Structure formats: structure tokens, C-alpha cells
């Protein structure tokens, strides 16, 4: 069974990753190879098998809905590439 060819441009856009044409070609080839290997999972019969999302059988871990101290404002901004007036500066989102 051949793996479908990855549409690298489309997936890179989904992942918000800008790639050079060389990277697109190289990644495309490498990933086609890796996907070819992964095809072997289709050999298995998984009828009736429940998926495992994570290995420990814990569900619905919650805490009481109480306000608690969180990361101080200044600490949160400390590593900001661009900040002003206690806010992160971002490019214009809405025209």
C-alpha cells in the first residue's frame, strides 16, 4: 500500500510554518518515506479496540472554582518580544 503524498504546502500552512522551497522538497521526500513506514499500522485489526488517549486511567480531574494567585502580571510580560502599557504588542488583526 503506497502512502498518499503529503501536501506539504497545505500542512505547513495549517502549522503556521514558513518553509523554503528546498525545505519543502526535502521534508516532502523524508515524510513520504516515514509515512510509507507508518502504513504498517494498517496491517492490524483494531475492530472493537478502545483508543488510549493516555496511559493512566484518570478522568475529569478538576479543582474547586476558587480564585487563586497566578503568575504576576510583570512576570508574564517579562519575556515579551514587544510590550507596552502592560500589554503584548501584536500586528494588526482586524482591518
State the minimum distance, in angstroms, from the CB of residue 82 to other proteins: 7
State the minimum distance, in angstroms, from the CB of residue 85 to other proteins: 15
| Cβ contact 12:18 at 8 Å | yes
State the minimum distance, in angstroms, from the CB of residue 65 to other proteins: 14
What are the residues whose beta carbons fall under 8 Å from the beta carbon of 27, sequence distance 6 or more?
A: 8, 19
| Cβ contact 36:2 at 8 Å | yes
Distance of CA 18 to the CA centre of its chain: 15
Question: Which residues contact other proteins (rule: CB under 8 A)?
Answer: 6, 8, 11-19, 23, 27, 30-31, 33-35, 37-38, 40-42, 44, 46, 49-56, 58, 61, 63, 71, 75-76, 78-82, 88, 90-93
Q: How far apart are CA 31 and CA 35, in angstroms?
A: 6
Amino acid at each position: 500500500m503506497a502512502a498518499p503524498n503529503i501536501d506539504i504546502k497545505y500542512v505547513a500552512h495549517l502549522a503556521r510554518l514558513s518553509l523554503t522551497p528546498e525545505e519543502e522538497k526535502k521534508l516532502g521526500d523524508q515524510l513520504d518515506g516515514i509515512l510509507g513506514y507508518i502504513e504498517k499500522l494498517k496491517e492490524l485489526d483494531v475492530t472493537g479496540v478502545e483508543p488510549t488517549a493516555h496511559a493512566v486511567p484518570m478522568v475529569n480531574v478538576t479543582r474547586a472554582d476558587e480564585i487563586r494567585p497566578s503568575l504576576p502580571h510583570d512576570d508574564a510580560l517579562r519575556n515579551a518580544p514587544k510590550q507596552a502599557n502592560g500589554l503584548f504588542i501584536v500586528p494588526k488583526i482586524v482591518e
